A = this chain, B = another copy of it.
Amino acid sequence: MAKKTTKTPSGAKRVVKRNSEQTKKQLENLALSIVKMAEQAQDPAIAIPTRSLSNVSYNEKTRHVEMGGNKQSRNFFNYGQAKRFMQTMLVGSKCKDLIDIGKTASIRQIYYMSKHTIKGTKEKTFDDQSESDPIIEDLEVAIDTLREELHVFASNRGNLAGPITLVDDGNTLDCSAMGSAGYAVPSICEPDMIQFKKCKAKFILHVEKDTIWRRFHEDRFWQTHDCILSHGGGQPARGMRRLLRRMHEELKLPVYVLLDNDPWGYYIYSVIKHGSINLAYESRRMAIPDAKYIGVSSFDYDRCGMSDDVKIELDANDVKRAKQIANYTWFASKRPWQKEIKKMLSNGFKMEVEAMISKNLSYLTEEYVPMKMKDKKQWLD
């Protein structure tokens, strides 16, 4: 891991540690191959793996949603592709600049950095961020890297608490003593930014929302159960997914997921476990195929003797989404998941994790989850 010391004009020193040398090399190679084609009087072109649904499949062996081998050529001497060719080069060069100076930028900042009027014309390089975002994804797949390695970050979202000490940006942090909102998980969780130091946790409990997380944190669930307690503020952002995966893989921690009993909850689980369909190329470094869904299950209404206060009627969209999810290749072959989704449809209602609080404030943390953790038969795989 290379250490680089940069000096800001104001004199403040900081150590930038990044292992993006490989990504930089790949960017340079991409540029050199274009130059070579030009010199050989060929039409400069980049091969970009297709990111459409038709090029996505489920790999039974790795249990990942993966991108297939289809590629498209993006050519300079093609009226329909020339602009996007130029944009790809431009964004690539901005990413190389970021790696060179050891700084990062958001996708919106990449847009502003890359936008300008093309000399001698009234044409802008980009008219809108909706043009630059897909170019970043194109680059990721073209040179087989993650946007974090291109020094581009998404919004940060999610927190965790528990008996783990990690080093983030050079700061050693004991996540069992980070205050009432816990450790803020950053958008970039690559090994050169975050290293694990000490961990006494035996598993990870990941919950959907920050309000539920606070209930568990206030009840010191992570202390009583020796675990890491995390939330993603809904669909977990890339940073949280990457960190969960790294803790699972490097620290050998099982991951248990507690989400709402609705199609959205099922979908979040699907993304955490197998990867996302839209960004299938990330699965390899973000998916956690061994993650288990511990609740809330459609069977918990009867199992836990809930009152009808917790029922939220399914609407037409819920029913449609539930059926779509039941047909996902990775759920279609699993009987327990088919039964789970069928039961929700026959219930005619969905339930939130918060529903468990309608019994009493501590039922969720002191009875429901401990009961779920004990009885493996209740887990959905």
Q: What is the interface size of chain A, counting residues whose CB is below 8 A from a CB of the partner?
A: 66
- How many of these chains are in the complex? 2
**From B109, B182, B193, B224, contact of A180 by CB (8 A):** B193
Inter-chain contact A358/B115, CB cutoff 8 Å: yes
Residues on the B chain within 8 Å of A355, using CB:
112
A86 interface contact, C-beta 8 A: no
Inter-chain contact A357/B182, CB cutoff 8 Å: no
**From B9, B97, B117, B171, contact of A307 by CB (8 A):** B117
A113 interface contact, C-beta 8 A: yes
Inter-chain contact A224/B178, CB cutoff 8 Å: no
**From B11, B112, B177, B210, contact of A310 by CB (8 A):** B112
A156 interface contact, C-beta 8 A: yes
Residues on the B chain within 8 Å of A309, using CB:
112, 115-117, 124
A46 to B187, CA, bound (A): 48
Q: Which residue of B lies closest to A154 (CB)?
A: B211
Q: How far in angstroms is the closest Cβ of chain B from A42?
A: 33
Inter-chain contact B186/A109, CB cutoff 8 Å: no
Q: Which residue of B lies closest to A104 (CB)?
A: B218
Residues on the B chain within 8 Å of A112, using CB:
309-310, 354-355, 357-358
Q: Which residue of B lies closest to A312 (CB)?
A: B128
Inter-chain contact B101/A354, CB cutoff 8 Å: no
